[in-house]
């Protein structure tokens, strides 16, 4: 059973896809999937994918251009409406071929970069359009997650390397500064600063020679983990 947001996304995408006769089988897939008819839905999807084998590259690109705005703007539209067979057999090879010839439109690079985990493509998207906040934020989400992963078990243990994380934080700050949306700048700056505080406090603790990070944090009113905040340690 799929989630409510995925059901809404499936119906929204199906309605739009049904306006193009070439995409009818895909629209039917979305409708059947929303109705819980999974086996029937994937039969429709197979028929759709079979029909696309005779498509020109332009036809394939048009379908990609149709799909990805839904993925970027509607909650969970990149789940039910974007099943693995569609991704593997049509969308990924289409984006690969499109990226090989595209020199102006940065969207295929952004889409490939995000959905197929390629920083190289994301940076190419930004090169073509330095104001592409969507591509930049994908990079930020990946990099900030790396820092989160390093510190998320503190005060029990630091998984990563503080020096490397501080260097990565500098790269993150650089990317944040290039965002065009000030609200997004504030959001990412806040996220980074919270993590930086924990890293810097960890380094300070290591240099202090104290043997217990949690105890040191409490004694010095320092944040040393996500569940160990300043307010937690504060005592009147």
- What's the pLDDT tens digit per position in 213-229? 999 999 999 999 987 54
Question: Which of the residue ranges 146-155, 189-198, 225-234 would you say has the lowest mean pLDDT?
Answer: 225-234
Residue 3: predicted pLDDT: 67
Q: Where are the alpha helices (DSSP H) in 74-129?
A: 84-86, 92-101, 107-115, 119-128
222: Cα separation from own chain's centroid: 31
**pLDDT tens-digit readout, 45-101:** 999 999 999 999 999 999 999 999 999 999 989 999 999 999 999 999 999 999 999
Tokens of 122: 């994301």
Residue 232: predicted pLDDT: 35
Torsion of CA 40, 79, 81, 134, to 10 degrees: -170
**pLDDT tens-digit readout, 198-211:** 999 999 999 999 99
Residue 226: predicted pLDDT: 86
Residue 164: predicted pLDDT: 97
Residue 228: predicted pLDDT: 55
Residue 84: predicted pLDDT: 97
Residue 234: predicted pLDDT: 32
The confidence band for 2, taking pLDDT boundaries of 50, 70 and 90, is low
Ramachandran region of residue 76, left (φ > 0), alpha (ψ -120 to 50) or beta? left
The confidence band for 230, taking pLDDT boundaries of 50, 70 and 90, is very low
Instruction: Report CA-CA distances (Å) from 159 to 24, 49, 95, 165, 183.
Output: 49, 44, 36, 11, 31
Evaluate if residue 233 carries a pLDDT over 50: no
Evaluate if residue 124 carries a pLDDT over 90: yes
Residue 149: predicted pLDDT: 94
- Residue 37 CA to residue 174 CA, distance in Å, equals 48
Evaluate if residue 175 carries a pLDDT over 50: yes
- Residue 114 CA to residue 122 CA, distance in Å, equals 7
Average pLDDT over residues 138-144: 97
pTM of the model: 0.90
């Amino acid at each position: 059973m799929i989630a409510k947001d995925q059901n809404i996304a499936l119906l929204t995408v199906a309605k739009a896809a049904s306006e193009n006769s070439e995409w009818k089988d895909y629209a039917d897939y979305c409708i059947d999937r929303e109705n819980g008819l999974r086996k029937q839905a994937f039969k429709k999807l197979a028929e759709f994918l079979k029909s696309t084998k005779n498509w020109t590259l332009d036809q394939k690109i048009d379908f990609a251009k149709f799909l990805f705005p839904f993925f970027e703007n509607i909650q969970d539209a990149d789940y039910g409406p974007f099943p693995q067979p569609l991704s593997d057999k049509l969308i990924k090879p289409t984006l690969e071929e499109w990226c090989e010839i595209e020199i102006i439109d940065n969207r295929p690079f952004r889409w490939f970069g995000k959905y197929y985990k390629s920083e190289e493509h994301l940076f190419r998207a930004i090169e073509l359009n330095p104001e592409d906040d969507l591509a930049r934020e994908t990079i930020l989400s990946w990099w900030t997650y790396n820092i989160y992963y390093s510190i998320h078990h503190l005060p029990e243990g630091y998984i990563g390397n503080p020096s490397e994380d501080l260097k990565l934080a500098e790269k993150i700050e650089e990317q944040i500064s290039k965002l065009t949306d000030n609200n997004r700048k504030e959001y990412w700056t806040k996220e980074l600063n919270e993590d930086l505080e924990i890293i810097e406090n960890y380094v300070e603790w290591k240099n202090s020679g104290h043997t217990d990070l949690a105890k040191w944090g409490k004694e010095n009113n320092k944040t040393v983990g996500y569940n160990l905040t300043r307010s937690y340690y504060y005592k009147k």
